[in-house]
Amino acid sequence: MKITDIETIYVRMQQIKTQCDSGQDALVIKVHTDEGITGLGEVDSSPMSAMGVINGPYSHSICCGLKDLLLGEDPFCTEYLWEKMFRRNVYVGHSGVLFHAISGIDMALWDIKGKKLGMPVWKLLGGGFHKKLPCYASVLFGDTPEKTYDEAARLRDLGFRAMKFGWGPMGKCAKNDEALVAQARKGAGDKVDLMVDAGLVWDAKTAIQRAEAFAAHNIFWLEEPLPAHDYEGYRRLSNATSVRIAAGEEEDSLEGYRRLITEGQVDVVQVDLTRCGGFTGAMKVASLAVDFNRPVANHGFSTYINVAAALHWLNSIPNAFIVEFVAQNGTDLRDMLTRQTIRAQDGFLQIPQEPGLGIDLNEEVISRLRVN
Ligand SMILES: [Mg+2]
């Protein structure tokens, strides 16, 4: 089998609201082969930047568009192709958009392998740990503590046993921060695991104060309270509080995750399959986390391609325990883009059993919303 083309498909809602919602546009990757099998992947990054990394022409031996590097290659050779894409782009970067672009292609290559062999990706990765996994409903904080209460109560009534509130008004002042978390807990009830995603808003000392205040509301983890690369701050915070600290969605390279775990001392390692180098990169991050006895969770705030990829990965590693599931009311690009919609049942997501990722695009929506 040979790779014959790589297609970058940038879709974007006609109306984009200025808000925290990475579900308003998407960069979908298609890898085509000479056997007529097409693999699907996603990049959750700056779409045009990632497209440049993929579609750019040969410049020189360590700076070359990913498509140019992969045409004519065997899609089954994922480890070799990953290294080729990385090492032939040293000038493009050791993290960031190069990793994001590699992620979408690597994901599509594993989809091809699964489709060709008639097996779900998790089986190719040696998985089989779960039939289903508990998920947490992931939403933004309401504009006010009262609106946060209403949202928590809505999610509790939908049957979620865990929920996470993030970003929005968090970080304005101590009083409002604590009221947001108090109302989230009140709306969720005492039986629900409650996570708080601060959204990169504090320094270490402020985060230590908030962690102790939030501990009174029995939060399950405190996520990304500090700027992403303040590893020293993360270490001070982790050592000062008994609250679990979660981070990792801004990381992509194995080196970044190594620093987050060993220097930052975070407790829960979060991995986004559309940014960390796809399945090939994510398996290495999971292995690193196992070495340091850290549980991992996915990050996914974009499409069902991302959610499906996360389910395959989480079913292939020993240190998975929960899935992030976007329950945000907002744009409907997520529900339109793919023919499958992944739904939670009683707080669980089923592990996909179809060949490859088990996800197909809604081509009518693609042609209507495609930008390029
Ligand atoms: Mg987050």
Instruction: Tell me the pLDDT tens digit for each residue of 189-211.
Output: 999 999 999 999 999 999 999 99
Please tell me whether residues 137 and 60 are part of one structural domain: no
Please tell me whether residues 67 and 144 are part of one structural domain: no
Question: Cα(110) to centroid of ligand 1, in Å?
Answer: 26
Catalytic residue, candidates 32, 100, 130, 299: 299
Please tell me whether residues 98 and 142 are part of one structural domain: no
> How many residues are recorded in the chain?
372
Question: Cα(45) to centroid of ligand 1, in Å?
Answer: 15
Judge whether 182 lies within some domain: yes
What percent of the chain is modeled with pLDDT above 90?
A: 93
Two tokens, residue 119: 């097996």
| CATH code (residue 319) | 3.20.20.120
From CA 362, how far away is CA 179, in angstroms rounded? 42
Determine the structural domain holding residue 76 and report its residue range.
Answer: 3-118+363-369
Please tell me whether residues 41 and 181 are part of one structural domain: no
Secondary structure (3-state) at 323: strand
94 is catalytic: no
Please tell me whether residues 102 and 176 are part of one structural domain: no
Average pLDDT, integer, range 110-116: 98
Average pLDDT, integer, range 90-115: 97
- Contacts of residue 328, Cβ cutoff 8 Å, sequence gap at least 6: 21, 23, 138, 139, 140, 301
Please tell me whether residues 128 and 227 are part of one structural domain: yes
Q: What is the pLDDT of residues 265-284, one digit of tens each?
A: 999 999 999 999 999 999 99
From CA 100, how far away is CA 182, in angstroms rounded? 36
Question: Cα(165) to centroid of ligand 1, in Å?
Answer: 9
* Per-position b or e across 149-183, b if 16+ CB within 10 A of its CB: bebbbbbbeeebbbbbbbbbbbbeeeeebbbbbbb
Please tell me whether residues 341 and 238 are part of one structural domain: yes
Please tell me whether residues 133 and 114 are part of one structural domain: no
Question: Cα(113) to centroid of ligand 1, in Å?
Answer: 31
The predicted pLDDT at position 19 comes to: 74
Question: Cα(70) to centroid of ligand 1, in Å?
Answer: 33
- How many structural domains is the chain composed of? 2
Q: What is the pLDDT of residues 41-74, one digit of tens each?
A: 999 999 999 999 999 999 999 999 999 999 999 9
Please tell me whether residues 181 and 59 are part of one structural domain: no
The predicted pLDDT at position 173 comes to: 97
Judge whether 356 lies within some domain: no
DSSP H or E stretch at residue 40:
strand 38-43
Residue whose entry in the numeric block shows the structure tokens 């399945």: 279
Judge whether 215 lies within some domain: yes
Average pLDDT, integer, range 96-116: 98
Please tell me whether residues 100 and 216 are part of one structural domain: no
Please tell me whether residues 164 and 93 are part of one structural domain: no
| CATH code (residue 24) | 3.30.390.10
